[in-house]
Amino acid sequence: MSDELPDRLRASAEEYEPDRDRMWSRVSEGMREPRGARAEPERTGWRISHLALATGAAVVLIGAVVVFGQSLGLGPVVGPTPDPPAAGPATSAPGAPDPSSGAETSTGEASETTGGEAGTTGQEESGEAGPPAWLSTDGSVGQGSNDYWSQANLTLRNDEALTELSVELRVAIGEGLQSTGAWTTDSRLSDAQVAEEDGYLVYRWTLRDGEVLPAGEYTFAGQFNHGSGPRSADDDDYTFEAATESGEDGRAEGGFA
């Protein structure tokens, strides 16, 4: 390099004089220009696409690292979902009975059975066992009854043959009550024996000696006069006692409707 070049550059710099008026003119024009007029740099779509691609690649890479780490046993071990805690002892509501005490929750008493209904048995009232399944009875007032005369009907239904049978009809004695006869539907049964006992007019039928009454339906009737006007049978009742060929005994009793 020539030794004269620095001297020549220095001399040129000293000779240069800036155009101050032109510089101030350019500054003034720049200050008068509104800020919003300056154009924003144009955003190009290729930058966004490249950013999305880069993000997706990073997610895939991280997922691969996690899976690879799990396969090597390096990641956290995900255990089974724990079972919910066992339910504690139930809390009874205040005043509720304790189920473990064995106390009965029902305090109602059984309704009483009335012996005055047709076909009901007095054994239920006294606590005795009811009639056996093979023995069914019923009591009713005959349709021909009127204000001066009545007939009391008894019906027997036996599902097994009977070797013994005793039937008793008790009619409460009232004003003018007097027996006028009795009958039954089978000749193997004896004629009725009629007597007054303890305020009742009593009709009795029995199975004749040596006879067997087959399974079936049989009717017994007691007839009597009474005072004028309708008569109530509420105080009348009956009893059946029987035995089967197998030696089983049965009893049934009831009233009239």
pTM of the model: 0.52
Give me the sheet containing 135-141, strands edge to edge.
135-141, 149-158, 216-225, 178-184
Amino acid making up residue 123: Q
Express each pLDDT in 142-161 by its tens digit. 999 999 999 999 999 999 99
Express each pLDDT in 119-143 by its tens digit. 444 444 445 578 999 999 999 999 9
Supply angle C-alpha 133, 157, 225, rounded to 5. Answer: 130
Choices 2.40.30.330, 2.60.40.1510, 2.40.50.140, 1.20.1070.10: CATH for 135-255: 2.60.40.1510
H or E stretch at 180? strand 178-184
Express each pLDDT in 79-128 by its tens digit. 444 444 444 444 343 444 444 444 343 333 433 333 334 444 444 444 55
Supply angle C-alpha 240, 246, 248, rounded to 5. Answer: 40
Express each pLDDT in 182-216 by its tens digit. 999 999 999 999 999 999 999 999 999 999 999 99
161 forms beta bridges with: none
